[in-house]
Structure 1
């Protein structure tokens, strides 16, 4: 059988009311019992007080005359008394209105011990339900009998009944007020839960902009703050995922575009060679084109592998102390031929015995990429490689007199596959400068670029001087 669902609202109402009812019931019973005991005790003390006075009068010279004054006084207060002997015979007053004393054996034992007998409610031995006390009467150092005083409990019962009615009225009024407060509080809590439930449903549907009010200074407020922190983090994570996805799409598009050109050239040459559409004297040139485009593809693949290794911290630097002049001469020797093909000259300027603490192979990769870009955008100009020290840094600077970079493009050149403006020719930065920036930062250095359109570009690399 399927369990029936009980709303949280009714659970709260039930718990509040059950606690209130049980508390009221226990307090009411305790209070009524306390008042009842107090009323009977007060009546007993009153009877004992009159009894002591009567015993005092019995010891006087004229007991009967002395007791006469008490009869009217006590009757006015609805109190009757008798003096009895050891055989339970009434000695005073002689009246048929008061029945003979019929004390039990246990009650007589109390009087014989010289103690006061107290009975709060007696419903059998008197015409009405009464409270009575019996005090022992001692004459000539022996028990002569006792004095019994009785008072109907009707006045006490009426007082207790009135108290019960007042208490019941107060309890009903308090219960109604408590019911109203419980309803309002339960409504408040349930509405806050429902708001959280709706917000959770929106998050499950992918809406991470939802926020809950954090005004409550209780567990609901803490939960709302935790929920808002969660949605903020989810929102940031979702944005990061979207950025990564966009970058992945852009990367696939860029890689596809970059590979399409060399693959198209290679396929065209191979097809021409296969069908003998390329003349004999052009075949050598076609083979050279295939070789260059193949190298270009290999370089593209290697650069992508390098880039991903650097981004995932899979590159280990083998640092050593290197003379900067030696490093720049290696770069010049490697790049002189490419520079000469475009009519460029490479110059070197380095401080004597200046050193940098770097990974030699990676630093050659960094400088080679920068110089290649300088050669690419410079014709019949100069490329200057310089090294010097400034304010705790070893500085390597590569300057050219090429076409320069537009101001709005300077911050974009570090992106993968960024292509320069068409007006600058067919040049492109590819992955080279992205790898350059990552490797420089991996060494703990920084790189910046300065450029002016038509006047050239300067790359400045700074490494902290090793102590």
Structure 2
């Protein structure tokens, strides 16, 4: 079943159920009201006749009737205009009026109740066979006892035809049926309009979804924040923005991967070509004896270059997949930082750079010693790679629950857009400045740094100004105070 019909059916069920409940209540009220009014009217007539009987025959010993029969005939004629009937009984349950026609005797249980002073109300005498007062028409009636002091002198039955009593009820039912039909028609129209209004929004969402499935990520749904469907449209728009952003990020990753593959192929082709040329020269004895040591050294450097490129990729995959075990201890970081300065001094001098170390005599750090060294080597090597004729400053200080180390350079710096991607795999802030002979040319150095710092529960951030320089700030927290945030 289509959703519009489901909505219409739901609206109609609610409307019709409400109408039925209201209608039932109205009919029930009208019925009770009609019968109560009739009972009260009949009881009023009966009480008046009882007073008249007491006044006309105070000793009740006469042979005559409780009320003059001639008077009762006239009264019956008057009451026929209201379609009422009267039956009069003496104190011995004998029908005194009417004289003509079948005689009726009240049932013993009713007579006993009357003698006890109770008034009897009969809604429909055809529903109680022992109180039939007419075989032709059903009557709604009352039976009222008459007393003179404590002595019951008689009783009167006054009845009105049920069909006359229920005439207002039938009229209410006809009005209710008319209202029901009108409500049904209006309900159909309104439920269709309301359902259509909702379905227009849903169809708009459906069309937008199909466009997204077809690859269109520019879709945006107009909404006014009136209801939950509008909220869904808003969420849909947010989802599309996220998908678009993700798609752009994937494309950028693909572009960088392709660039990396091209760079890697180029970097591998050069040393492989060099090694192959030297091997051919050795095979055909084309290299002079005095040049062979240099050729061997060149082959060794080129082989190390290939090994380094492969190892960096393998190392990153292990770190990213948490396949390495950190052995964290408390140690003095001043020692490995001094060693780092000595180790990278030659690389820095090739670019006319100076490495400055500004650290306290004792610098407690809680970290894996080898991975700490790897992090700092990558950061300093990255600074050397993008700095010429400048200064790389490594400074450190103790925090309340950790150690903060900064690597500042006076190199080419980075834009805000470059900073967003600097820690991603294969990304190079300035590929044209990457040195084929240095570390970090694969675009994995800072990605490895970020992964290692995260596994240490540390923090890294970067500040940079184009053509001024960059500063990488790394925080290693003490044991028990590690966190897992990255403020890049």
Both structures adopt the same fold (TM-score exceeding 0.5)? yes
Aligned residue in 2 for 1:248:
257
Deviation at 1:227, TM superposition (A): 4.1
Alignment RMSD, CA only?
Answer: 4.9
Aligned residue in 1 for 2:122:
119
What's the CA shift string for 1:271-314, capped at 9, x where partnerless? 23223444455444433322221122223333444455555664
Deviation at 1:260, TM superposition (A): 0.7
Distance 1:100 1:140, change over 3 A: farther
Aligned residue in 1 for 2:55:
60
Structure 2 residue matching 1:15: 3-state secondary structure: helix
Distance 1:155 1:259, change over 3 A: same
Range with greater deviation from structure 2 (69-78 or 7-16): 69-78
What's the CA shift string for 1:308-353, capped at 9, x where partnerless? 55556647466621446x85477447755x789x797979787884
Unaligned runs of 5+ in 1: 1-5
Show the 5 A alignment for 1:87-126: 88-90=94-96, 99-106=101-108, 107-122=110-125, 125-126=133-134
Q: Is the 8 A contact 2:87 2:95 kept in 1?
A: no
Quick one: distance in 2 between partners of 1:262 and 1:7? 68
Distance 1:329 1:385, change over 3 A: farther
Quick one: distance in 1 between partners of 2:164 and 2:112? 30
Q: Is the 8 A contact 2:353 2:384 kept in 1?
A: no
Deviation at 1:43, TM superposition (A): 1.3
Aligned residue in 2 for 1:3:
none
Aligned residue in 2 for 1:261:
270
Unaligned runs of 5+ in 2: 58-65, 127-131, 479-488
Quick one: distance in 2 between partners of 1:406 and 1:222? 44
Deviation at 1:117, TM superposition (A): 3.4
Deviation at 1:174, TM superposition (A): 2.0
Distance 1:438 1:47, change over 3 A: same
Quick one: distance in 1 between partners of 2:123 and 2:272? 116
Aligned residue in 2 for 1:431:
441
Quick one: distance in 1 between partners of 2:355 and 2:40? 124
Which protein has greater RCO, CA pairs closer than 8 Å, 6+ apart? Answer: 2
Q: Is the 8 A contact 2:393 2:409 kept in 1?
A: yes
Q: Is the 8 A contact 2:460 2:475 kept in 1?
A: yes
Match of 1:84 among 84, 89, 97: 89
Instruction: Give TM-score, length-normalised by structure 1.
Output: 0.72
Quick one: distance in 1 between partners of 2:116 and 2:351? 139
Aligned residue in 1 for 2:60:
none
Aligned residue in 2 for 1:15:
10
Distance 1:265 1:377, change over 3 A: farther
Instruction: Give TM-score, length-normalised by structure 2.
Output: 0.69
Range with greater deviation from structure 2 (45-54 or 301-310): 301-310
Kindly indicate whether residue 46 of structure 2 is the aligned counterpart of residue 51 of structure 1: yes
Kindly indicate whether residue 173 of structure 2 is the aligned counterpart of residue 168 of structure 1: no
Aligned residue in 2 for 1:320:
331
Deviation at 1:368, TM superposition (A): 8.8
Distance 1:355 1:446, change over 3 A: farther
Structure 2 residue matching 1:131: 3-state secondary structure: strand
Deviation at 1:265, TM superposition (A): 0.9
Distance 1:344 1:410, change over 3 A: farther
Structure 2 residue matching 1:134: 3-state secondary structure: strand
Aligned residue in 1 for 2:302:
293
Distance 1:31 1:267, change over 3 A: same
Kindly indicate whether residue 203 of structure 2 is the aligned counterpart of residue 194 of structure 1: yes
Kindly indicate whether residue 168 of structure 2 is the aligned counterpart of residue 159 of structure 1: yes
Deviation at 1:263, TM superposition (A): 0.5
Q: Is the 8 A contact 1:57 1:66 kept in 2?
A: no
Quick one: distance in 1 between partners of 2:196 and 2:442? 64
Quick one: distance in 2 between partners of 1:439 and 1:310? 10
**Matched positions, count:** 443
Q: Is the 8 A contact 2:224 2:230 kept in 1?
A: yes
Deviation at 1:211, TM superposition (A): 4.2
